[in-house]
Amino acid sequence: MRNGSVHHRPFFKVLIANRGEIALRVMRSARQLGLGVVAVYSDADRDALHVKQADQAVHIGEALPAQSYLNIPAIIAAAKASGADAAHPGYGFLAENEEFAQACKEAGLVFIGPSPQAIEAMGNKAGAKEIMRKAGVPIVPGYQGLDQGDEVMLAEAKKIGFPVMIKAVAGGGGRGMRLVTEAASFPDALRSARSEAKAAFGDPTVILERAIQNPRHIEIQVFGDSHGNAIHLGERDCSVQRRHQKLIEEAPSPAVTPELRARMGEVAVAAVKALRYEGAGTLEFLLDARGEFYFMEMNTRLQVEHPVTEAITGLDLVELQLRVARGEPLPIKQQDIKFSGHAIEVRLCSEDAAQDFMPQSGRMARWQVPDSIRVEHALQSGSEIPPFYDSMIAKIISHGANREEARGRLIVGLEQLTAFGVTTNQAFLMSCLRHPGFAKGDATTAFTGTHRDELLASRADVAFDTALAGLLLYVTNPRAPLWQGGRSLAATFPLPAKVEIAGHVHELDIMRERDGSYTVATGGRRDRFAIEQLDADAIRFRHDDVMDSAKFLRDVDRLYLQHRGIPLVVNDLTLAAPKAAASNGGDGKVRAAMNGRVVAVLVKPGDSVTAGQPVLTLEAMKMEHVHKAGIDGVVAAIDVAEGEQVTTGRIVVEIGAN
């Protein structure tokens, strides 16, 4: 499957058919090789950082991916318009799209990735498993048949034995994947998986696999070139996931011995050679408690988590991609690869972990990253997070001499990062890293589900958070005099305040003492603060003889506060008029829980529904969210259409009482 017999394929300007942090990542390595870089952008990304930092940028369409970043003719036209002679797909869906690789070839562009034939062979999960089975790679038992009838699928699932995993035959990223534990719930899960697969990949076909209980998710990074060389760069452990999408990745895996690494690496390299594969790829395996591993799929692209492999090998994987695409032989052999230390990466996502990881969009009012750790991102203060794309907004990567050092550095790096304005999973990631199970290296794919309540537990000292928030609202009140240190001769009296944090309302009294300190009373508790320094975005204070600090952003009656790395959003309700309780659908009106696209309307006017029955599905940032009826009744109106983009709070379905 080589691109012809001539290995030399020079190019001088690379178009990056992707957005955000991966576009900037590819730009960095391309420029180190002296190459020009071209960005593409949608309507939603007109002012994005990857557009500003490219040599050239070409507009390719409207906001939705199908009209822009997945629009192959528009991207090929952009390459021609800019004079690019190569295309790098990043790690989006186009990276595993044989039609895009073929279109590049036909347009005279060097596609920085494997051949269209290799992508096609490995892009279909059923076909890939058959190829790997013939190559002697262990395969998870399952069903990959052409007959996709509901009754056949259920019968095959029963043959395999529950629990089973439903997986979209095309694509990846956890889309079209459902774990089913019993036959009764299989039909609904099958429908949902097909719907998501069709929306994401244009193909509703699925396969079935035996669900291996509590496995590790281990992947092997491989490279091949047009000269027949193939290597592996060790494994990555990607077991910490939510919704079957990775959150934390590390290399090496705490569960992989040198002997097991050699076995898995040998299998992976044999597969690469059998395919005559060129470029970067990843073979993904499930590793059970006995040390047996089973092939799941091959990703014919660069992975989001490639920086941890770079950290422990000292190699630039994007540079290797570019060199292989130019027809150069791999510059290293297997025996030359050395592993040094340990690396861990977390994915910072714009989502609300407490609300089932619901995607979030909006304006990132303040964005600051630490200098002491590697952060891959494409943000700046004021950046808009659109609802149309993946929820991952940054990757934070640490490297240490050992795993514990890497874990500690990553926790500190997350504590120092500031993301105000859009809810992220920052606190959840820190909870994962600090959890004893993760610290011991025991995390499997069941980690977040098993420990969900612990990982989502709120800070123990809610009263302190409330008091600190009240103090900051008091001293940053634009209607009050600017804060000044020192003693005061004025008479003091408490000022009442009311704040809302995480949906809970707290009433408190704040008073400045004559010695210049402040007392905040709430719920029978009194906290005393002495402010040492107050800047526009940070406060330094003493509390119980401890000098401490916090970051903040005051936005009218909203306060963003981050103390010891944990971000809080505080609403000042002191002067707010009473408002009606927010509806959860109890009034019969089902409201959009997020900005998103309607992918399925599950009822029609006149249908009888019961409370809790699914009525509509929204999709945002690669996730589906099912909206349910709040009451028993009859569907009075459907206020949206499939394919329509809606905003948070919009009424989508109206239900009248029986």
- CA angle 321/322/323 to nearest 5° reads 95
- How far is it, in rounded angstroms, from Cα 526 to Cα 15? 60
pLDDT value for 584: 55
Q: Is the peptide bond before 329 cis (omega within 30 degrees of 0)?
A: no
pLDDT value for 124: 76
Pairing of strands 36-42, 56-61: parallel
pLDDT value for 175: 80
- How far is it, in rounded angstroms, from Cα 580 to Cα 368? 36
pLDDT value for 235: 98
Which domains, ranges and CATH numbers included, belong to the chain?
13-112 (3.40.50.20), 141-210 (3.30.1490.20), 216-456 (3.30.470.20), 462-572 (3.30.700.30), 589-656 (2.40.50.100)
Among residues 175, 236, 261, 301, the one annotated as catalytic is: 301
Residue pair 654/635 in contact (Cβ under 8 Å)? The answer is yes
pLDDT value for 581: 42
pLDDT value for 5: 43
Q: Please tell me the pTM assigned to this model.
A: 0.86
To the query of whether residue 479 is one of the catalytic residues in this protein, the response is no
pLDDT value for 582: 43
Residue pair 373/397 in contact (Cβ under 8 Å)? The answer is yes
The secondary structure of 324-343, three-state, reads: HHCCCCCCCCHHHCCCCCEE
- State the DSSP H helix or E strand holding residue 53, giving kind and residue range, or none if neither: helix 49-53
Which residues of the chain register pLDDT less than 50? Answer: 1-6, 580-583
Residues 6+ apart with CB under 8 A from 466: 499, 501, 506, 508, 522
Token match 């008073």: residue? 511
pLDDT value for 321: 98
